[in-house]
Every structure is written in C-alpha cells, then in structure tokens.
Copies of this chain bind each other. A is one copy, B any other.
C-alpha cells in the first residue's frame, strides 16, 4: 500500500522527524519504493518536492529530511504503484489551483474503473488517484460557492469521499493550506501534540526527539498518518468511513459515514 502523512499546526513546524520515519518505509522498512512527494505551505504558496525514486535512497528526500522547512500545513505520500506506471507525473501529492488557492491532494487506496465526470480539471498522469482528485476538484468548483465555510465544504467533501469509497479503497488527505481534510476507508491515525510536550521515538529508524526542547507551550501540532510513526505515543486510529477536518492543529469537525469494509491487506491499498 501507499502511505500518507499530513500535518496541521498553529505555528510553522518542520516535519523532519516524521518525514525521516516515513521515508524509511519507501524501500527500507516498507515496500513503498515507487516514488514519493511532499508539499509544504508557506502562506498561500506551496513548495513541493516530487521524486519517482525510492524515498529511502532518494537524494532529494535526504535533503528534505536534513533541511528543516517550517510549515503550518503539509502533505506527504510514499507510493507503491499499482495503477499507473512509476514516473514523475504519477507521483503524489497532486496540486491544482482553485479560487486563487493551491489545493493539494494525496490518496492511499485503489478505485478500479473509476470514471471521472467532465470538468475543467484533467489528470496529467494515468493514476486513478489523480483522476479522482480532478473529479473532486471539478465537483467542488461546480457545487460550492468560493466563500464556502470549511464545515460547508466538509459536507460536500464527505459526500464525494463516500461516493469514491463505494467504488474502492479511498484514504485521502486534501488541503488548501487553510484547513486539512482527512478521510479513512481502511487505515489512518492521528496524534495531536501540545504542552506538556515529551520525547518520542520513531518506529522505523533509531531516532528520538524531545519536543519540549523544540516547541513553545502554545504550540499545537497534529499529524495524520496511514499508520503510527512513533513507538511511545498514543495515536488515535480512524474508523472505516471516519473523516476529520483539521485547522491550525485543532479538530474543526469530524464524523463517520458508511463505507464498504475491506481486510487491511496490502493488495487493495496499492496506489
């Protein structure tokens, strides 16, 4: 399967620690060796790094993990290809502009035979993931006002996510830099770190960080990942069909809808 990582924070925060853990799974502790990508917001701007190389051995990934880039909102994806060949165009996250904001999307799962409805956004690559993202963007543009509140937006996103999930496995992260929407069909977990901060150790490589030394008491940082990245923290696992909308590290809204249940075997989760 692919793996997702998202961050929502109330202060610019670097993702080096979590990114280092996740990228080990891209060809070292995990099989997701078919490329990786990460997008960091800085204000309304987005800085993305994409590479079809395995993240565990990618020079760009080494650079990103060793040069702290601080952001309030970030989305990362490591890929194990199934639909679509291994190339740069098929590497998540995907980015499109809507209403003067960059929207960033990453997907974990597989939605076979997905048919995109006609609209202005079209995929560049040939993954079902980018096809779904373009359909989602077209539906949002056509059915919502540009000044829609995040909660109004969420109800549209949940309906669309439920529709996609009815056709396959659909775990996703979507953001416009202001909020971060997460939807789970099979596997997803989140953790919100706030004062008092403590230490944490990565599951995938020998690395420990003491967040108390790197934060202020006012910091709130939420991470969302396909599976927990640390050994010594309590991650809150999503239920199938559960969605959570994050903003500045806080939970803005959440809910759960009916979705088909799948065994969490690797097969249906490739992307």
- A contact set with B: CB distance below 8 Å: 42-52, 59-60, 63, 67, 87-91, 95-97, 99-102, 120-125, 141
Give CA–CA (A102, B97) in the complex, Å: 12
What does DSSP make chain A's interface, helix, strand, loop or mixed?
Answer: mixed
Asked if B45 and A48 sit within 8 Å, CB to CB, the answer is no
Inter-chain contacts of A90 with B (CB < 8 A): 45
Beta-carbon contact of B99 and A43 below 8 Å: no
Complex CA–CA separation, A230 to B11 (angstroms): 44
Question: Are B120 and A120 within 8 A (Cβ)?
Answer: yes
| CA gap between A114 and B60 in the complex, in Å | 38
Chain B residues whose C-beta falls within 8 Å of the C-beta of A48 in the assembled complex: 48
A59 in contact with B50 (CB, 8 Å): no
Is the beta-carbon distance between B100 and A45 smaller than 8 angstroms? no
Knowing A42-B87, A50-B45, A87-B42 are in contact, say whether A122-B96 is a contact too (CB < 8 A). no
CB nearest neighbor in B for A122: B100
Question: 19 A-B contacts, Cβ less than 8 Å apart?
Answer: A42-B52, A42-B87, A42-B89, A43-B87, A43-B88, A43-B89, A44-B125, A45-B50, A45-B91, A45-B124, A47-B49, A60-B67, A63-B63, A97-B121, A97-B122, A100-B123, A101-B124, A120-B120, A120-B141
The answer on a CB contact under 8 Å between A89 and B124 is no
Complex Cα spacing A123 to B124, Å: 21
Give the complex CA separation of A167 and B15 in angstroms.
Answer: 44
Determine if B89 and A45 form an interchain contact, defined as CB atoms under 8 angstroms apart: yes
Beyond A45-B89, A59-B67, 14 extra complex contacts between A and B, CB < 8 Å: A42-B88, A42-B89, A43-B87, A44-B125, A45-B87, A45-B91, A46-B88, A47-B49, A47-B51, A97-B121, A97-B122, A97-B124, A100-B123, A120-B120
Contacts of A125 in B (CB 8 A): 44-45
